[in-house]
Amino acid sequence: MKSNTSTHVNNIVVLVTDKFHQRRGEIGKMLYHSRLEDGAIRVKYSDGAEETFYDEDKPERIHCFYRKRDKTTKLYDKKNKGPKSFIRAISRIKTKDLEYFSEQYEKLFGEKLPN
């Protein structure tokens, strides 16, 4: 994801897409994204566990989405990185329902899943 200086990492939700990863189909909150550490992306899950991914892991292992709707993220939805794209992506995961994601999302961000 290219740098967007107007977006704080708290506005990024991460979806684990790696079909071999134990947390496949789970969402996490981006804690930081460091260009100095080979693009390290630190992710926190709703159970409190944390994990580090790297820029090179995208999109094979993780997919990052902007979670707020505003003028900037409308453009990112066209690139499959905005809030509507996030809802579409989790809707395609057959092993978990939207209620599951809604609970995870509320634990992570303290607010309801965007619709």
* Euclidean distance between CA atoms 2 and 59, whole angstroms: 13
User: How much of the chain exceeds pLDDT 90, in percent?
Assistant: 43
Determine the structural domain holding residue 95 and report its residue range.
Answer: 9-109
Residue 63 forms beta bridges with which residues? 15
Question: Does 14 map to a domain?
Answer: yes
- Tens digits of per-residue pLDDT, 37-75? 678 999 999 999 999 999 888 878 999 998 877 666 566
Question: Does 21 map to a domain?
Answer: yes
DSSP for residue 112: P
* Residue 25: predicted pLDDT: 92
Model pTM above 0.75 = yes
User: Cβ(59)–Cβ(17) under 8 Å?
Assistant: yes
Domains in the chain, number: 1
Question: Does 3 map to a domain?
Answer: no
pLDDT band at 105 (very low <50, low <70, confident <90, very high): very high
pLDDT over 50 at 28, yes or no: yes
Q: CA angle, 75 as apex, 108 and 91 as ends, to 5°? A: 45
